[in-house]
Structure 1
């Protein structure tokens, strides 16, 4: 294992961004409030995009918060160094948090909030009883996620530099990277499907119909935004605007953490970039592993059609 990583209950984490003590605090001591909102993703699946979307929705489309406060302060990562202290500074309510944690080591108090299961599969509709914590889980085509992680490893001190796409896939497909296996992450979190406080959607949904996705998220959160406010959310989270917003693009971090000269954090923001990187052999191998891992998984994603042909 690289010195860059620590192992917590079988999952790797970057040493630069967390510690065993921080992870144990989150798992065992972090007290979840009933109106907390959790933006959960596997790395490079639209995390930053969703932070800005949720920040704007909570402020009724007003971009001031997004343009004046770094995203890591608007929606702190729960597994980062010193989170217990950062938690004391969270004055906004509802509190907005971000996490890449796999479901099996998420906070134990998470199960003790007032969450109730709905009687059917409800993805976008909140019921009218007492507010409860919510989880918005964004999933991205794992091939595009792998490519994005490859470039991220080039510019980020948190990850081992993956020398080639082939090198990346060897670690990625078997979970030998921070936050573990994409397959286990998705299958773990999707066990919440059917609970009214859980919403999942895909990065591809956001790309295909951003405005429609924003409206669905508003409905899920019980936020009523008018057309002008929704337009503001959509406009401010365009790739161009976020790439130019220093509060969103991570250029405020020292180069010792992220070197944007090697690769910009916000690189392309597109669907299907894996086609520009995978060889035929790599793609066939990826599909073989994907089919084996997801063969008993009932939910179908937009990319499943091409993989299962």
Structure 2
């Protein structure tokens, strides 16, 4: 069943999942996610996304805007910190004071926190003002907040390029980061266990089979990456691979600095690399999302920052899954020159 747009200015149809697909998802999740799909590529979202889909798509842009866009768990937070520091003349003091969640409004974060979640938080949290503040920060669309925000604005999104404002590259800058889909799947699996709102208690193999069938949020993965890859030569698009940042962080920093029109001295480079080293990064309270733990949003057994490496998928895949992944990747790269770097 699809919803026609009628008088809407949003060009894509929204469709319900088939009843048998919903029933299958209910077997794996602790609470059945209410997914819908959007557009001809059937990107999958939690239903609340539809509440702000038009405002996001038609969002007024400014030449000073900088977007960091990724398919989730592709090195987003790492890149956000790198981009923000370079754009703000390496102001470590402000970066430490202001959580990255406040420095970068997350366009579609609100879709993970529906009305039932908000009501539940208010009922069980004694400090109502604090609960309302959290709801305002993470459960409400940010399009209005962005309209009022001073320039320059730094914006995070996991939306595919087709669902962001259509003229985005004519006005703003976009840094897009891609990562090996096998590592993405493993990291998304842990992410869905970290955030209680997703609550995926089933084994990784079950998650993997849903992921490659485009039954996890904001899949299909390959369509997401290929849309950005096709725009990689636009002067306002910088396309990075997570594996490149892992292999040669100084080279990646230089590319980002050039893209933003900034220069980095050798001394500044050494300090920035140290700041962004995984050991330091995971201890950085401004970027590790630990402030959400006191609200009961996060599971006690998982961390937002996990391993910070490439190739960790090998510890999770059996022979059958490895072969399945190889075929899946090969099939999806047939029509493109996109190739993921390997890091030994």
**Structure 2 residue 85 is matched with structure 1 residue 71:** no
Whether the aligned pair in 2 keeps the contact of 1:62 and 1:229 (CA below 8 Å) is: no
Which position in structure 2 is the counterpart of 1:26?
Answer: 56
Instruction: In structure 1, list runs of 5 or more residues that go unmatched.
Output: 116-131
Secondary structure in 2 aligned to 1:143?
A: helix
Query: Match for residue 95 of structure 1?
Result: 153
Inter-partner Cα distance in structure 1 for 2:34 and 2:272: 36
Native 8 Å contact 2:33 2:46 kept in 1? yes
Work out whether residues 63 and 236 of structure 1, in 8 Å CA contact, stay in contact via their aligned partners in 2: no
1:139 lines up with 2:178 in the alignment: yes
Partners of 1:5 and 1:178 within 8 A in 2: no
Equivalent position of 1:230 in the other structure: 269
Q: Tell me by how many angstroms 1:23 deviates.
A: 2.2
What is the rounded CA distance, in whole Å, between the counterparts of 2:240 and 2:168 in structure 1? 21
**TM-score in terms of structure 2 length:** 0.77
User: How big is the shift at 1:19?
Assistant: 3.1
The answer to which structure has the higher helix fraction is 2
User: Aligned partners of 1:180, 1:162: CA distance in 2, in Å?
Assistant: 20
Shift of 1:272: 0.8
Q: CA RMSD in A?
A: 2.0
Q: Distance in 1 between the 2:274 and 2:46 partners?
A: 33
What does 1:1-309 correspond to in 2, within 5 Å? 1=22, 3-9=32-38, 10-14=42-46, 18-28=48-58, 30-81=59-110, 82-91=141-150, 93-110=151-168, 115=170, 132-161=171-200, 163-254=202-293, 255-259=295-299, 261-303=300-342
CA distances 1:8-61 after superposition (whole Å, capped 9, x unpaired):
51332246xx53122221013x11112211101001000010111112112222
CA contact (8 A) 1:7 1:13 kept: yes
Q: 2: CA distance between counterparts of 1:188 and 1:107?
A: 14
Give the length in aligned residue pairs: 281
- Conserved? CA contact 1:31–1:109, under 8 Å: no
Deviating more after overlay: 151-160 vs 234-243: 151-160
Length-normalised TM-score, structure 1: 0.85
Partner-residue secondary structure (3-state), 2:234: coil
Instruction: Write the deviation string for residues 85-134 of structure 1: whole angstroms up to 9, x where unpaired.
Output: 3214522x3321111001221123526xxx3xxxxxxxxxxxxxxxx411
> SS of the residue aligned with 1:264?
coil
For 2:16, the equivalent position in structure 1 comes to none
Higher-Rg member (1/2)? 2
Q: Tell whether the 8 Å contact from 1:14 to 1:158 is kept in structure 2 after alignment.
A: no
Tell me, which stretches of 5 or more residues in structure 2 are unaligned?
A: 1-21, 26-31, 111-140
What SS does the aligned partner of 2:193 have? helix
